Amino acid sequence: MKIVVTGSSGGVGRETAARYARSGATVIGIDKVAPAGTVGFEHINCDLASEDCVTRAVDRIMQSVDAVDLLVHAAGVFHPDETAEKSAAQMQELWRVNYVAPCEISERLFPLLLKGTNPLVVFIASTDAIVASGGQRCEIGVTHDARYAASKGALVTAMRALAMRWAIEGVRVNAVCPTIVRSPMTESLLAIAGKEEQLSKHIPLGRICEPADVATAVEALYRLTMTTAHVLPVDGGYLCQ
């Protein structure tokens, strides 16, 4: 298999890329920081908020592989609403990394996807893309992060549009929507004493999401060859409340 993963130095991206690399796949990871330690896959340094950087990364991929079987967009950024409201730069970064770059990379790599085996694009979105917060005022849900939720909601809409456009070509596009995931993005939040226990009480299965949970969902979607334009929650039952 030949796989491209954005956000490959973070929680979900690193777990997904490393898992496929261990299985013998050719994996190209994209992130603005290099992954720590030995990971077994090629790394492309790229700030997804920069259009020029995205173009260079895509060009390098086109030169490195002749096909892409699986493209996983795990990169993402978060800025609280009150911060983004005061910073046009942070708002632009939020929009470009969470929505624009995944769409651009997918469309530019479409020729390689056409040459792939059972080609699949997976957007890692969020439960915030689907529901506000079920009335729960906590760090799960969009009572506090409407702009982040909007970027992920746009990503889900783009997923469906691309899935319908590319279905006739045999290229599938799906989205995974996890609840709060243990990752570098949430590290400072979960480090607060008692915070993980507090958040877990809002999830019926009683725990937060691990990167391995999301990576397993990606693997499952690759095997579900009759599934496209699908949103797969990895949320411990959160969306059913």
Packing angle of the helix pair 51-64, 101-108 (nearest 10 deg):
30
User: How many C-beta atoms lie closer than 10 Å to residue 59's C-beta?
Assistant: 11
Least confident range of 16-30, 72-86, 163-177: 72-86
pLDDT over threshold 90, residue 72: yes
Instruction: Please tell me the pTM assigned to this model.
Output: 0.93
Do 39 and 13 form a contact (C-beta atoms < 8 A)?
A: no
Q: What rounded mean pLDDT belongs to the chain?
A: 91
Do 193 and 187 form a contact (C-beta atoms < 8 A)?
A: no
pLDDT at 20: 97
Taken in order of first residue, the domains within the chain and their CATH numbers are 2-235 (3.40.50.720)
Percent of the chain with pLDDT over 70: 93
Return the exposure string of 15-52: e unless at least 16 CB atoms fall within 10 Å of the residue's CB, then b. bbbbbbbeeebbbbbbbbeebeeebebbbbebbbbbee
pLDDT at 140: 63
Least confident range of 35-39, 45-49, 177-181, 225-229: 35-39
Q: pLDDT (tens digit, 9 = 90+) per residue, 137-180?
A: 665 654 557 888 889 999 999 999 999 999 999 999 999 999 98
- Which amino acid type is present at position 96? R
pLDDT at 195: 86
Q: Which residues contact 69 (CB under 8 A, 6 or more apart)?
A: 1, 2, 3, 116, 117, 118, 119, 120, 222
Averaged over 187-216, what is the pLDDT? 90
pLDDT at 134: 46
Return the exposure string of 63-96: e unless at least 16 CB atoms fall within 10 Å of the residue's CB, then b. eebebbbbbbbbbbbbbebeebeeeeebbebbbb
Q: pLDDT (tens digit, 9 = 90+) per residue, 96-142?
A: 999 999 999 999 999 999 999 999 999 999 998 988 654 456 656 54
What distance in Å separates the CA atoms of residue 124 and residue 152, rounded to the nearest whole number?
9
Least confident range of 14-28, 39-53, 138-152, 159-173: 138-152
pLDDT over threshold 70, residue 213: yes
